[in-house]
């Protein structure tokens, strides 16, 4: 039982490049979400999904897109990377009974 | 706007001490409050407190939720160096009958000295 799997673990991008952070869960959770963690800021919600085909914006959605074509997968797309998007990104899924399970994170640096 | 405030932001104690971490919140349509421990990687789940479960205990860790005064505390007794971590408090709200994601506090950085 893998839980929540995020790839890649590390990534360096040049300003203006695009990329997709992958997130997959095998717990059959309906609810999935993406957060970014910056020093001194805690975790902030980027986008979330309450089920396949349904997504919504969180606190800091600008510059990011998501889609949810299956229950298992919830990729996060950076359209045109900016240095301000340098951060650690966490994906989470939830059953609302046992709390949220987080992936191991992706450390992204935009130069 | 939902808001979660944790205090203190950092705390240094000696092994064996008892610590109390605080979390206050302002959330519309509160659903639950969660505590996480974060070492070098992903946050790991400690407790979830809801209207139907306002006190939880696991070993040396315990937590209570005061829904009237809108705060929660996390207690750690007989602290060990392995308790050194960032402790995160988060609240979950409900929008339209579904979850609205987590709003996190900035965390308390706890350091346990031998």
Give tens-digit pLDDT for A50-91. Answer: 889 999 998 899 999 999 999 999 999 999 999 999 999 999
- pLDDT value at B95 more than 70: no
Q: What's the pLDDT score for residue B73?
A: 97
Please state, in angstroms and rounded to a whole number, the distance separating the CA atoms of residues A63 and A104: 22
Q: Are A66 and A73 in contact (CB under 8 A)?
A: no
Residue A1: which pLDDT band, with cuts at 50, 70 and 90? low
Q: Rounded CA gap, B17 and B84, in Å?
A: 12
Q: Is the pLDDT of residue B96 over 70?
A: no
A105 with B34: Cβ contact below 8 A:
no
Question: In sequence order, what are the residues at sequence separation of 6 or more whose Cβ sits closer than 8 angstroms to the Cβ of residue A107?
Answer: A9, A10, A11, A88
Average pLDDT over residues B2-15: 95
Report the percent of chain B where pLDDT is more than 90: 68
Shortest CA distance to A32 belongs to which of A85, A88, A90, A87? A90
The closest alpha carbon to A19, from A73, A65, A71, A58, belongs to: A65
Residue B25 pLDDT greater than 60, yes or no: yes
Chain B residue closest in CA terms to A35 = B102
Q: Is residue B99's pLDDT more than 70?
A: no
CB-based contact A99 B48, cutoff 8 Å: yes
Gap from A45 CA to chain B (nearest CA, Å): 7
- What is the per-residue pLDDT for A40? 79
Average pLDDT rounded to a whole number, residues B45-66 = 89
Residues of B in contact with A40 (CB under 8 A): 106
Average pLDDT of B39-67?
89
User: For residue B99, how many C-alpha atoms fall within 13 Å in the half-sphere facing its CB?
Assistant: 26
How many residues would you count in chain B? 114
Cα four-point dihedral sign B83, B56, B38, A9: positive
Instruction: Report CB contact under 8 Å: A31, B105.
Output: no
- Contact between residue B38 and residue B88 where contact means Cβ atoms under 8 Å apart: yes
pLDDT tens digits, residue range A4-52? 999 999 999 999 999 999 999 999 998 999 999 998 778 999 999 988 9
**Contact state of B102 with A59 under an 8 Å Cβ cutoff:** no
């Amino acid at each position: 039982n893998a839980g929540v799997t995020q790839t890649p673990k590390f990534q360096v991008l040049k300003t203006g490049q695009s990329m997709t952070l992958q997130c997959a869960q095998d717990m059959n959770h309906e609810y999935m979400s993406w957060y970014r963690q910056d020093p001194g800021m805690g975790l902030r919600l980027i986008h979330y999904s309450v089920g396949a085909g349904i997504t919504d914006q969180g606190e800091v959605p600008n510059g990011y897109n998501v889609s949810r074509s299956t229950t298992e997968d919830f990729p996060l797309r950076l359209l045109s990377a900016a240095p301000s998007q340098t951060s650690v990104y966490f994906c989470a899924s939830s059953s609302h009974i046992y709390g949220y399970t987080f992936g191991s994170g992706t450390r992204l640096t935009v130069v | 706007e939902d808001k979660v405030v944790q205090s203190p932001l950092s705390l240094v104690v000696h092994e064996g001490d008892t610590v109390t971490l605080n979390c206050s919140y302002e959330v519309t349509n509160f659903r639950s409050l969660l505590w996480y421990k974060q070492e070098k990687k992903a946050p790991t789940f400690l407790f979830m407190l809801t209207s139907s479960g306002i006190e939880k205990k696991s070993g040396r860790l315990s937590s209570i939720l005061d829904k009237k005064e809108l705060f929660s505390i996390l207690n750690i007794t007989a602290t060990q160096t392995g308790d050194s971590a960032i402790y995160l408090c988060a609240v979950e709200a409900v929008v339209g009958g579904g979850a609205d994601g987590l709003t996190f506090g900035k965390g308390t950085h706890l350091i346990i000295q031998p």
